Amino acid sequence: MLRWNEQGQTVLISDPKQPQLVVTPVAPPEASLARREGTFRLGADGRLEGEVRVSYTGESAYGRKARYQSQSPADREEFVRDDVKSRFGSAEVTGIKVEGVSGPEALRITYHVKIPSYAQRTERRLFLQCAYFTRGYAPRYSASERKHPVAYPNAWSEKDTVIYELPEGYVMEKPEAPGAFKIPDVGEYVARLTLSTKRPALKYDRSFDFGRGGHIMFPVEAYPALKQVFDKVQELDDHTIALRQEAN
């Protein structure tokens, strides 16, 4: 796989008999994948505790690997801890492991986390934002206008699976999934909720990809549409469900 700055470029194949000018391929979104999984227990007071597993491939891994290679193991742990605490200030992050820092294999990060007041609590309800891995981030675009074209370095994809073991005595109130939408010729967003009545547990699946067909460069006139796409992604990522405590 070529680096992003070598993709979509005209290159010379210098054969002495039949040289050719060709355009290098642009890697599809699935070549640069962030695969993120979390298994959590949600307390009746809103606290969250559980295990997180993240892996990166392609361009999603390359820049992170370069940074981790310049750090000591202790610095890597601190970087992961600071990244989580930047979104959840009161989080306690332990058991951090960073693997696959060198070599072609995927970069893998695992940790254990405790977050007090992850879900908002009222007298008989908990309000849960299901998208753990995107919670706490600022909007990608805040300006209403742009003066220059938009160029993304590479296509990318994200696949998230989060399981919340619900507190005893709580049920979902109006279980509605965040939804899905397509970005014509460019990508797609899908988020689903599945409720298991045995544990009980809530499973949240989210997938998002962008840059299909090498569509990663956009003229300035396309900026309002791009902003609308990423505003929609954030709106769906912020989707919150209500859990109601059943009467005794």
Write the DSSP assignment of 199-220 as a string of letters.
TTEEEEEEEEEE-GGG--EE-G
Instruction: Look at residue 223 and tell me whether its pLDDT is greater than 80.
Output: yes
pLDDT band for position 248 (cuts 50, 70, 90): low
Instruction: Look at residue 122 and tell me whether its pLDDT is greater than 70.
Output: yes
Rounded CA separation 168/185 (Å)? 45
Instruction: Look at residue 247 and tell me whether its pLDDT is greater than 80.
Output: no
CB 128 within 8 A of CB 5: no
Instruction: Look at residue 130 and tell me whether its pLDDT is greater than 70.
Output: yes
How much of the chain, in percent, has pLDDT values that exceed 90?
Answer: 83
How much of the chain, in percent, has pLDDT values that exceed 70?
Answer: 99
* pLDDT average, residue stretch 133-162: 95
Residue 191 confidence (pLDDT): 96
Instruction: Look at residue 198 and tell me whether its pLDDT is greater than 80.
Output: no
Instruction: Look at residue 242 and tell me whether its pLDDT is greater than 80.
Output: yes
Mean pLDDT over each residue of the chain, to the nearest integer: 94
CB 113 within 8 A of CB 48: yes
| Token pair recorded at residue 137 | 């981030």
For the chain, give percent helix, strand, coil, nearest 5. 25, 40, 35
Q: Give per-residue pLDDT as tens, 154-197.
A: 999 999 999 999 999 888 887 788 889 999 999 999 999 998 87
Task: Catalogue all structural domains in the chain, each as residue range(s) with its CATH number.
Answer: 4-245 (2.60.120.1130)
Rounded CA separation 31/82 (Å)? 27
Query: At 21, is the secondary structure helix, strand, or coil?
Result: strand
More confident residue, 246 or 180: 180
Q: Give per-residue pLDDT as tens, 20-75.
A: 999 998 899 999 999 999 999 999 999 999 999 999 999 999 999 999 999 999 99
Residues 188, 1, 54, CA angle at the centre, nearest 5°? 55
CB 198 within 8 A of CB 151: no
With the C-alpha atoms ordered 134, 94, 91, 167, is the resulting torsion angle positive or negative? positive
Residue 224 confidence (pLDDT): 96
